[in-house]
């Protein structure tokens, strides 16, 4: 096609939502299809240097704007993209989720929703107000919808509604859209014409941590063993992959799909912990026959999910191992050749904060279909540029 529709990306991070945008009209990742290039991210913003290196490595045609969004005007962003007001078809992005993440609730200011970074939601609204895109997609952690943050969430929705965008929101489970991960994210979507957005129906079904009902008419959830198919099987782990130290021996004894509860008086391990005295992810091992639990951005040394297979140390001791970069890419439904700057921990931080690509694609594709850019009959092949 001769013309690509411009998109502005805010808080871009590793570019999961950006990749979903540019492959919105593509078939699932495993097909190798990249789509027809209906959309192009023309400008992306972030303050993190490693994230920007990742963006530049994978989106060479995208202009990046570095810095604190609170100090960057909308005009600067549009100028970098070569756009004017009402030119972007979409504004997309996920303001940093730390203020609303359940993993941050140990901090009083986060429990009371006093984190100053929460104001970044207002900056997102400001860019939508100034740029007037045809539609927007905002994503965040499910915690944004909790009672603790409800005042901020309601203000966000009201601010977007006051702009005439009629925002619709829903918490989606990534595994229900072909991602091998039980990751829940809230999406807020609005259209400039005020028409209500209809969220895409799930394509997959399976057990989650909350739901034991399975829709047999849908494709089963993608399991971790399916996700890791054809990856190199390395028996030797690097030092930063080995789960060793205080709980190293205990972690290695935990069966697939179990966590520290294995080592309580109710299971067959060592009686080392009190029942429900830790977070669920403490010493958690992947179950090869289920989708993965959420890949966290900054886990502690004993926080999983760890691989279900053990490795041996140089002294011959069995130890659990952390996930490798290629495995994390698969769990986030990123392409295998996606390049991420930094060491293994840096990669996990960037991926753990990202939008799973197939989940993002489902939302973007549904929006572009409802806007008339993708023909609903052929779903992803007939593109109407009106």
**All residues at 6 or more sequence positions from 90 whose CB lies less than 8 Å from its CB, including other chains:** 5, 7, 8, 21, 39, 133, 134, 135, 136, 137, 364, 367
Q: Which of 26, 97, 332, 374 is catalytic?
A: 97
E strand residue ranges, 196-235: 204-205, 219-220
Token readout for 358 is: 């197939």
Q: Is the dihedral of CA 9, 15, 17, 20 positive or negative?
A: positive
Query: What 3-state DSSP class applies to 379?
Result: coil
Cβ count within 10 A of residue 260: 26
Cis status, amide bond into 305, omega within 30 of 0: yes
Alpha helices in the chain (DSSP H): 16-22, 49-58, 74-81, 108-111, 120-131, 150-162, 224-227, 248-253, 325-331, 344-352, 357-370
97 is catalytic: yes
Alpha carbons 179 and 295: distance in angstroms, whole number:
12
Token readout for 45 is: 């913003």
Q: Catalytic amino acids?
A: 97
């Amino acid at each position: 096609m001769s013309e690509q529709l411009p998109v502005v990306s805010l808080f871009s991070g590793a570019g999961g939502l950006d990749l979903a945008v540019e492959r919105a009209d593509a078939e699932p990742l495993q097909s190798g299809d990249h789509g027809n290039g209906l959309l192009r991210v023309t400008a992306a913003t972030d303050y993190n240097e490693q994230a920007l290196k990742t963006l530049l490595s994978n989106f060479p045609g995208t202009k990046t704007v570095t810095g604190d969004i609170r100090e960057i005007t909308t005009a600067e962003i549009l100028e970098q993209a070569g756009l004017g007001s009402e030119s972007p078809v979409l504004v997309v992005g996920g303001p940093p989720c730390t203020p609303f993440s359940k993993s941050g609730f140990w901090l009083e200011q986060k429990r009371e929703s006093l984190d100053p970074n929460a104001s970044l939601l207002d900056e997102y609204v400001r860019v939508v107000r100034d740029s007037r895109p045809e539609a927007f997609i905002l994503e965040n952690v499910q915690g944004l919808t909790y009672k603790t943050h409800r005042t901020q969430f309601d203000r966000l929705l009201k601010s977007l509604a006051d702009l005439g965008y009629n925002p619709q929101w829903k918490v989606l489970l990534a595994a229900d859209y072909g991602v091998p991960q039980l990751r829940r994210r809230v999406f807020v979507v609005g259209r400039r014409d005020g028409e209500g957005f209809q969220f895409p129906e799930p394509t997959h079904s399976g057990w989650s941590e909350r739901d034991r009902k399975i829709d047999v008419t849908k494709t089963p959830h993608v399991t971790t063993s399916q996700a890791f198919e054809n990856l190199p099987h390395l028996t030797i782990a690097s030092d930063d992959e080995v789960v060793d130290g205080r709980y190293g021996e205990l972690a290695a004894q935990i069966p697939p799909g179990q966590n520290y509860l294995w080592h309580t008086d109710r299971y067959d391990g060592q009686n080392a912990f009190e029942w429900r005295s830790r977070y669920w992810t403490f010493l958690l091992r992947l179950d090869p026959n289920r989708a993965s639990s959420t890949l966290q951005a900054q886990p502690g040394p004993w926080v999983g999910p760890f691989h279900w297979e053990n490795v041996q140390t140089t002294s011959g001791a069995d130890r659990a191992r952390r996930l490798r970069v290629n495995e994390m890419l698969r769990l986030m439904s990123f392409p295998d050749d996606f390049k991420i700057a930094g060491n293994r921990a840096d990669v996990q931080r960037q991926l753990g904060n990202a939008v799973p690509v197939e989940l993002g694609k489902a939302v973007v594709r549904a929006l572009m279909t409802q806007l008339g850019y993708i023909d609903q009959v052929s779903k992803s092949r007939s593109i109407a540029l009106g």
